[in-house]
Structure formats: C-alpha cells, structure tokens
Amino acid sequence: MTTARVETRGSQQAQRGPAWLGETLGYLRRNPSMIVGGLLLLTLVLFTGLGRLIVDTNAASPLSAPPAQPPGPDVPLGSDPQGRDILSVMILGTWLTVRTGLVAGALGVAVGSAIGLYAGYVGGRRDKAITWVVDVLLTVPAILLLVMIAAVVQTELTSLGMALIIAALAWRRPARQVRSQMLVIRNAGYIEMARLSGLGPLRIIFGEIVPNLLPFLISSFVTAVSAAILAGVGLEAMGLGPQNEPTLGMTIFWIMELSAFLRGMWWWIVPPLAILVVLFVGLYLVNAGLDELANPRLRRRA
Amino acid sequence: MTLLQVSNLSVDFFTTRQIVHAVRDVSLAVAAGERVGLVGESGSGKTTTALALMRMLKPPGRIVAGSARIGDLDLVGLKGPAIRAARLKTISYIPQGAMNSLSPVLRVREQMLDGLADHGIRLSAREAKARVDDALAGVGLAASVADLFPHQLSGGMKQRVCIAIAMMLDPKIIIADEPTSALDVISQRQVIQTLHMAQKRIGCGMVIIGHDMGLMAQATDRIIVMKDGRIVEDAPTRRLFAAPQHAYSAELIESVPTLGSRPSRPSGERPAAGAPFLELTGVSKTFGGGLLGGDSKQALAPIDLRIDAERPRVIAVVGQSGSGKTTLARIMLGLEPPSEGQFRYRGQDVSQLSVPERARFRREVQAIFQDPYASFNPFYRVDHALLMPLLHLGAAGSRTEAREAMEAACRDVGLNPREVLGRFPHELSGGQRQRLMIARALALKPRLIVADEPVSMVDASLRMTILNNLRALRQEHAISVVYITHDLATAYQVSDEVIVLYDGRLVEAGAPERVIEKPQHAYTRALVSAIPWPDPDRNWPLVEPDRASWNQPAVVQPGATCLG
C-alpha cells in the first residue's frame, strides 16, 4: 500500500541511532499499562523479598502466635485462630504462590513450545498426530483433571508438587499457539534462505525462528503464569493444596473453613484478597502492555 | 471539456514521529472520455491521491489543502452522507488487488446490486436482473456469472466484475488503481480492453494508476508522472514516450525493455565434455494424492533439462502463475524432491549426495527469491544473511575471510559495503535488499543461480539495475542464471534462451530471437501478442484467446537447454 510505505520510510529515519533504549522508552510511552502493571508487581516482589529479610517467617506456622488476635503491637496484622502470624503468612504465602505460578508457567511454556516447535517444523503426519492429541486435551476442563490428580496425591503435597500438577496441563495452549506461529514463520523466505545456506534443522529452529518468536513467548509466559496462579489458588481454596504450607490459596481455604466471615476477622480476610487482586491486576496490565509486542498486527510502527 | 479539476491538492500523514507530506500541491484535469495514467513508484503518492479524491483516506492521513471539482461539486468539501452519495454515482474507484475486494460469501449479483440499494434505487426483480445482465455484458462477461460466488471466478473475471460494479451508476470519473497487478499478461490485456470498452459506453473520464510504463503506453491518452508526492510531468502519452521532459520520466521509460533492442551477445560456445553440471531426466512433480492427501495435482509434467557449467547462459523460464515454473526452480535448488525422474548434479543423484558433496552442491547452486524483504530474517542485521552461507558451507575459512568475501560481493553488485552492511533489513530499500541477495549468492562463487521473479517486487526504475546485475553474473563471473519470470519483456531482454511453460508442461524453448520474435506455439503467440510494449502507436486488439490450441505439442529448437 502506497501510504503505508511513506509512513515506514519516515519512521526508518527516526529509528537510527541508539536503538534499544529509545525503542524501549517509546514502547513504554505508547503502552502505559505496562508501567502500572510493572510497578504493582514490583511492590509485591519488594513486599515478599524484603519482608523475608525483616520478619521471621517461622511465625507463619500454627501455634507461633496467640490465636485470633486483631492487629496489635505483637502481631502487626493480627493472627488466625490456629495461631499463625498473618504478616508472616502473607510474606511467605505470596512467595510460595508466585513461585508455584512461575514454575508451572515456565514448565508449561517450555514443554509446550518444544512440542509446538517440533510439530510445526516437521509437519506432515507427525504434526497431525500431535495436533490431534493437543486438540482433544484442550477440550478437557482443566479443573476436573486437576481436582482428580490433586485429590489422589494430596497427603504429601508441597507447593512445588502443586506446580508440577498444574504444569501437567499448562503446556497445551502454548503448544497449539507456538505451532501456528511456527507454520507462519516456516514459510518465510529467510527460512528457505537458511536452508540454502546449509543450516541444519536445529540451527534453523533456534537461530532463525525462535528469536522471532521471543516477543510471543514472553507474552505467552506471562499468560501461563497468571493462569497457573489462578489454577493453584482455585485448587487450594477447595482444600486440595499443600496442607502444611501457608500459601495464599490455603489461607483462603482456612478463612472459609474456620468461618472468618462469621467471626468478623477482617484482618485475616483482607490481606490475602488484596495481594491476589494486586497480583492479578499487575499481571493483566503487564500482559496487556506486551500485546503490541506479541501481536504483529497491533505493532504501531509510525 | 474538463470533468475533474484537481487544484493544489496536498495530503499529510500526521504520524507520531513526524508529518509526512505524501501528496504535495497536485493539480490535474481529466476530460470526458479521456484516459489518464498516474505513474510513479511505490511511495510516490499516486494511491494516496486517488484515496483523497474518493475521500477514503484513513487517519493519520488528512487533506490539508486544495480542491477537487467535478462540475459544481467540490469533493474535498463534502461531509458525511454527501460523501457516500458521491461515491459510485459521481466518482468510483476500482481498488488495488480488486480480486480480494469481493465478499466471498455473497453471489456476484448481490454485490453488484449493493451499490444501487445504497443510493436509494429500488428495482423490481426483473429490472434488477436486466441491469446486472447489462453491466456484465458491458465488461464481456456472461449473464450466468451473476449467480456465481467470487471463488468460482478466475482473477481476470473477478477484476472485470469489479469494473462492472464501479460502472453500475454510470459515474463521471473512474479511478482504477493498478487494475492488472497480479494478473498474467493475457488476462491483463483483456482487463485493459474491458476498461476501454466500458469507458466508451458511458463516456466517463478515467484515471489509471500503475507503475508499468509498457502497459501505460497501451492504455492511456495522457500520462502524469509522480515522484515523492509531486507531479513531475504531465504530457500526452505519445509525446511523453517520444520526448520525456523530466529526467525521472526518461528513467522510467528507459527501464522498460522494447522489442528488437536486445543487446547482441557473444556466441562462442564450447561443446560440453563429461557429466553435465545439472541434469534433469523426466523430472515431474505431483502434489497431494496418496491415502490421505486428497486430490493430486500435477504441478510439473516430465521435463528434461541439462545445464553445463562450461557454457554459462541466462535461461529464462516463462509462464503464468500455476505454470510450474516455481516448482521447477525448487526442484533445481534441491528444496523439493522430484516425484518422478532423476535430478543429477555432476552425474550424481542429488538425493544421494554425501554431506560434503551436498555442501558443494549448495555452494554451486544458489537462489534469489521474489520478495527481497522476506529473504532477510528481521531479527538480524543483513550481514547475518550474507555470512551464514559463507561460514556454514565452508566457502570461507575464517570470519575475517568471510567478511572480506562479503564486502567484495557487495562491491560487485554496485553497493557500498559501508552503506549497507550492519543495517537491519527494514532500513534498506527493496532494490538494495535484492542486490544484497545477489551479493549473498555471488560471494559463494556459485556456478548457477536460480532467480525466482527477482524484480517483480522492486520499483520499476530499479529493475534494470538488478537485471543488469544478473547479466553481469554470466558475463563477468561465468555463472549460469535461471531467470524465472512471468514477464516476457524482461526475459527477452536478459536471456540467452527462453523456456515457456504452460499448465506444468513445456510449450516452447529456444533462443529469445526465435521464441519471442517468431513464436511457433499457439500459447507463446498469445503471450507475446499480449506483452504491453512501450509503444503508444501499437495496435493492441482484444482477441479472446483460443485456449484449446494451447495444448498442441511443444516446440523445441535445436541446441536448447531443455530437451523436450
């Protein structure tokens, strides 16, 4: 299109010079939601990171504080009926919950991308078989499978075990998406050029294709992390989580189990909810900000 | 009588970084019954001018000055519903790539009547049918086409339906934006003739936007040349071709090859000894088929071909889309195994080459693709694409050696290495990118380069430079070139030999003097007569092609690379 060429020509002039910094700043200026989301997540990281240095997280176990106390000088955020210090629970729980999300998200994206890259690159019958399996699995409601798995292994469950259970299903969507991205890129002229330049399949996938998928993979990772946290909190709230670890989801389970609402223990109810809200809003905003990077159609060049 | 009078029209694009002056101070007039060509390379503002007249500019584009009058109506001053009322009735537009402008889910009839309904014209079923039949007849299509869906029509037919739609309300001005891009020469001629016929019938003024000077010579009365948003020349077609006033017009005209102007070339050819460099014996390709593959389609009928490295030549493979020319290229590059027959490289079957032999095959047989932008990985600087083959195919011992070879190759294709290397592909022009691709192949010191439509996506003024680069490959570096194209005019200009393919079959092969100046085969004759040479006085009559005669057996001249 004639007009579009004029615009890109103009912007090419402006893009020269120290590209990366200028481009990043320009990107942030166009996508302010990224900054807000980033700040929210940074607050949580500081809260749990610094908190663990300052506050004794052993107080997050039961019987370490006087039970069911409202906030006071000994227990800054109060305590729950089983004698956990809420502040310690929040500091440790945020870390455990986020770690579950990061591990499950990373595993899901890594395994899913590997499957997607393989299927998309080899094509043909193997691609058809893999895609068929992924498609069938995609129709299975995740929560159903998770409840079943979690119920079976529940007794000895740790938060890392949770992450593995969630990761067992988190790879499906990245696999499907990476495969379709792969199909688009595989037919690009530069892939043919790489083949004519004597590159083998591994070098083509990791040297030529993956770099172009990076923005997409980053965004995919953020989505997977927030989906994994959501799944984890959901399972834990049902009581299917690690019984001996004070994750945010388990806290919600105990809130419901021990009738915190009836007993008016607001200091127990508000903090985990506030942290979850900040966490999800932050992840959502960051992902919305990454959208332009991951979705070439939204990329504003002018 | 002046119908359309555009005065001092300017269009700016207010982008976030700067204001781009896409159209500056453009004034032009179109009379009734006149055909005006608007010519210039991409980015020259010709489409933007047309969109501004149609009031179809999208933000951030805006008309900042000027007027465009048709009678008493100022198109620039129109607002809201008045714009819609003017479209189609007063001024209508046949968009670029009109074949994609039809809705895939509606029958042709419904799409033709859409515009009428929008202009408040209520017709009975009988009247509507008569109107549609008339309009289709006006573009040389049968009335039965109205009941078909777009996917059931060929590209040329879709383009003619778009013309019929644009003419439904007998507009005063029709703007056709690159009406024949993506069409083969035979359909191209039909579409242009259809435009002429339809225009004569309703007596409107017509603006044809394009970049192909040959086509413009045959299609227009007057040509307006645009460059960087300005009009640089506005002259009757005959005068423009006889005596262009502006240097840029002259450059555009010179870039078009003409019949009989072929440079002579040396004919001293040594007989080949030993195994030929590349040999195709009964090679064919069928896609699909098999148990789960669906319908099979033969893309290439068995063909014999032999290329000797000792006898470098430029071999043009000509055919329209679907003729099997790209399949042939991919087989020769070893990207696609032949379904049947044997493809041998220096006497050895290519599918059974050992690893070092395969690297040597890759070094000696290289490629240039159609889209110079897609050929570069956008993630890397352009150096990556040039260094990769040098390092991986063992053509250069060390990185420094590779770098030297790369820079030498850039100079060989007329690029300054310091200007182009170290840049990202989007920072270079299409012409620079395509020449870098030639440099990439050249740096490997190959014996054969397969160039698949290397100039079809490059601006007209740069085409000759790139084709001359290809010619220099043969003359200065003794490299054979297989030049795949649908453009007979450039094939005639650069090749030592022409191979014409039709529907996957070999149709004619031989020296261009014979194949293009005195074609023997009915299909080649149809192709050659449809080439738009830049000669305004040439009679270019509309002949409905006799497709049945195209199935006659192939004509192969003695001494051709292709063995029939």
Pair B449, B530 in one domain:
yes
Give me the pLDDT at residue B270, please. 53
Of the candidates B8, B7, B38, B13, which has an alpha carbon nearest to the alpha carbon of residue B24? B8
Distance from CA of B236 to the nearest CA of A (A): 25
Closest residue of A to B23, CA-based? A3
C-alpha B52/C-alpha B234 separation (Å) is 19
Residue at B66 is within a domain: no
B342 and B239, same domain (yes or no)? no
- Decide if A113 is inside a domain: yes
Distance from CA of A86 to the nearest CA of B (A): 49
Lowest-pLDDT choice from A146-155, A161-170, A257-266, B511-520: A146-155
The Cα–Cα gap between B463 and A118 comes to: 40
d(CA B326, CA B452): 7
Contacts across the A-B interface (CB distance below 8 Å)? 105
DSSP codes of every residue in A67-136: TTPPS-SSSTT-B-TT--BHHHHHHHHHHHHHHHHHHHHHHHHHHHHHHHHHHHHH-HHHHHHHHHHHHH
What digits encode the pLDDT tens for the residues A48-59?
A: 999 989 888 888
Q: Is residue A20 part of a domain?
A: no
What residue in B sits closest to A190 (Cα-Cα)?
B375
Domain count of chain A?
1
In a domain, B431, yes or no: yes
Same domain, B283 and B240: no
B354 touches chain A (CB under 8 A): no
Alpha-carbon span B83 to B251, nearest angstrom: 38
pLDDT at residue A4, as a whole number: 40
Question: Cα B398 from chain centroid?
Answer: 40
- Do residues B233 and B341 share a domain? no
DSSP string, B55-100: T-PPTTEEEEEEEEEETTEEGGG--THHHHHHBTTTEEEE-TTGGG
Nearest C-alpha neighbor of B175 from the set B275, B320, B62, B28:
B28
Banded pLDDT at A8 (limits 50, 70, 90): very low
Residues of chain B with pLDDT under 50: 268, 564
Confirm if A226 and A285 have CB atoms less than 8 A apart.
no
Task: Write down the pLDDT at residue B260.
Answer: 66
The CA-atom distances, in angstroms, between A36 and each of A32, A41, B369 are 7, 9, 45
- Average pLDDT rounded to a whole number, residues A201-226: 90
Residue type, B129: K
Contact B362 A197 (CB under 8 A): yes
3-state secondary structure of B29: strand
pLDDT value for B289: 64
Q: What residues contact residue B162 under an 8 Å CB cut-off, 6+ apart?
A: B94, B95, B98, B99, B101, B102
**Model pLDDT for residues B102-126, shown as the tens digit of each residue:** 888 999 999 999 888 888 888 888 9
Residue A198 near chain B (CB below 8 Å): yes
Using alpha carbons, list the distances in angstroms from residue B412 to A257, B235, B418: 79, 38, 14
Q: Report the alpha-carbon distance of residue B448 to residue B393 in Å, rounded.
A: 16
Residues B101 and B149 in one domain: yes
Of B43, B47, B362, the CB nearest to A196: B362
Domain assignment present for residue A282? The answer is yes
- Indicate whether A72 belongs to any domain: no
Nearest to B208 by CA among B50, B63, B52: B50
pLDDT of residue A11: 40
Average pLDDT over residues A126-150: 88
Residue B502 belongs to domain spanning: 278-556
Q: Does B374 touch chain A (CB under 8 A)?
A: yes
Tens of pLDDT, residue by residue over A268-294, are 999 999 999 999 999 999 988 887 777
Q: In this structure, is residue A273 part of a structural domain?
A: yes
In a domain, B273, yes or no: no
State pLDDT tens for residues A217-236.
988 999 999 999 999 999 89
Q: Across the interface, which of A5, A192, A211 has its CB nearest the CB of B42?
A: A5
Closest residue, chain B, to A212 (C-alpha): B379
Using alpha carbons, select from A249, A222, A256, A272 the residue that is nearest to residue A109.
Answer: A222
User: Is the Cβ–Cβ distance between B562 and B556 less than 8 Å?
Assistant: yes
Considering the domain architecture, whether residues B234 and B327 belong to the same structural domain is answered as no
Burial of B132 (0-12, 13-18, 19+ CB in 10 A): buried
Is the CB of residue B341 less than 8 Å away from at least one CB of chain A?
no
The answer on B215 and B323 residing in a single domain is no
Residues B290 and B399 in one domain: yes
- Per-residue pLDDT, B293: 57
In this structure, the answer to whether residues B436 and B494 fall within a common structural domain is: yes
Q: Which residue in the set A5, A11, A190 is minimally distant from B377, CB to CB?
A: A190
The reply to whether A66 falls in a domain is no
Q: Is A218 on the interface with B (CB under 8 A)?
A: no
Q: Is B366 on the interface with A (CB under 8 A)?
A: yes
Mutate to test the interface with B, among A6, A27, A216, A299 (most CBs of B within 10 A): A6
Domain count, chain B: 2
Express each pLDDT in A106-115 by its tens digit: 999 999 999 9
B43 reaches A (C-beta below 8 A)? yes
Q: Are B443 and B409 in contact (CB under 8 A)?
A: yes
B142 and B182 in a single domain? The answer is: yes
Quickly count: other Cβ atoms within 10 Å of residue A32's Cβ: 11
- % residues pLDDT > 90 (chain A): 46
Within a domain: B437: yes
Test B43 with A6 for CB contact under 8 angstroms: yes
DSSP state of A207: I
Candidate from A6, A196, A212 with C-beta closest to B22: A6
B393 touching A (Cβ < 8 Å): yes
Does residue B19 lie in a domain region? Answer: no
Distances (CA, A) of A261 to A77, A243, A248, A266, B481: 17, 21, 17, 7, 82
Q: Which domain holds residue A95?
A: 77-295
Is residue A9's pLDDT more than 60? no
Is residue B269 assigned to a domain?
no
Q: For residues B103 and A161, what is the distance between their CA atoms, to the nearest angstrom?
A: 53
Q: Cα separation of B48 and B559, whole Å?
A: 50
Per-residue pLDDT band for A3 (boundaries 50, 70, 90) equals very low
| In a domain? residue A134 | yes
Judging contacts by C-beta atoms under 8 Å, the chain B residues touching residue A194 are 377, 388
pLDDT of residue B368: 92
Q: Tell me how far apart the alpha carbons of residues A262 and A239 are, in angstroms, rounded to a whole number.
A: 19
Please indicate, yes or no, whether the overall pTM of this predicted structure exceeds 0.90: no
State whether B434 and B353 are in the same domain: yes
Is-contact A107 A172, C-beta < 8 A?
A: no
Give me the CATH number covering residue A256: 1.10.3720.10
Comparing CA positions, the residue from A44, A76, A9, A82 lying closest to residue A225 is A44
Residue A11 belongs to some domain of the structure? no
- Say yes or no: B431 and B488 in one domain: yes
The angle formed by the CA atoms of residues B201, B206 and B208, to the nearest 5 degrees, is 130
B60 touches chain A (CB under 8 A): yes
ipTM for the predicted complex comes to 0.74
Residues 6+ apart with CB under 8 A from A287: A37, A219, A222, A223, A226
Would you call B301 helix, strand, or coil by DSSP?
strand
CA distance B146 to A98: 62
B56 touches chain A (CB under 8 A): no
